[in-house]
Amino acid sequence: MTKRQVMFTFPQELIREPIIYSLGHQFKIVTNIRRADVTENRGWVVLELEGEEKDIEQGIAWVTSKGVRVDPVVGDVVEG
């Protein structure tokens, strides 16, 4: 089991979809929301994912394919 902290950014058309719920269900990932702000036209959620490494990888690939942007919560590791 491993943990990964990520930020999801949702475009307007995905805000009403139960993406985090599906992510948990389909990929056997435990999702734990720490911070979030969702309005009618945009939303972001900071959460921790816990599960098998390969499930987390596949889950993130699926979320990304739906049109959600996934970023590390620590910000970019690369710096100037």
Partner 1 sequence: MSYARALRCRKCGQEYPLQPLNRCDFCLSPLEVSYDYKAMARGLSREELAAGPRSMWRYRDMLPVEGEEVDIGTGFTPLVKADNLGRELGLDRLYIKNDCLNPTYSFKDRAVSVAVSKAREFGFDTVACASTGNLAASVAAHAAKAKMRAYVFVPSDVEPGKLVGAAIYDPILVKVDGSYDDVNRLCTEVAKRYSWGFININLRPYYAEGSKTLGYEVAEQLGWRAPDCVVAPAASGLLFTRIWKGLDELAMLGLIEPVNTHMYIAQAAGSSPIVNAFNAGSMHVNPVTPDTIVKSIAIGNPADGHYALMVARQSGGGACAVDDEEAIAGVQLLAQTEGIFAEAAGGVVVGVLRKLAASGVIKRGELTVASITGAGPRTQEILADIVRPFAVQPTIESVEESIGALVRSA
Ligand X SMILES: Cc1ncc(COP(=O)(O)O)c(C=O)c1O
Q: Which of 1, 18, 65, 74 binds partner 1 (CB under 8 A)?
A: 74
The Cα–Cα gap between 5 and 43 comes to 17
Residue in 25, 28, 54, 69 binding partner 1, rule: CB under 8 A: 69
> Is residue 80 at the binding interface for ligand X, with CB under 6 A as the rule?
yes
- Using CB under 8 A as the criterion, what x/- string covers residues 2-31 for binding partner 1? ---x-x-x----------------------
Does 79 bind ligand X (CB under 6 A)? Our answer is: yes
- Torsion angle of the four alpha carbons 18, 31, 29, 12, in this order, in degrees rounded to the nearest 10: 30
75 near ligand X, rule: CB under 6 A: no
- What token pair was written down for 65? 């394919």
58, HSE (Cβ side, Cα atoms, 13 Å): 12
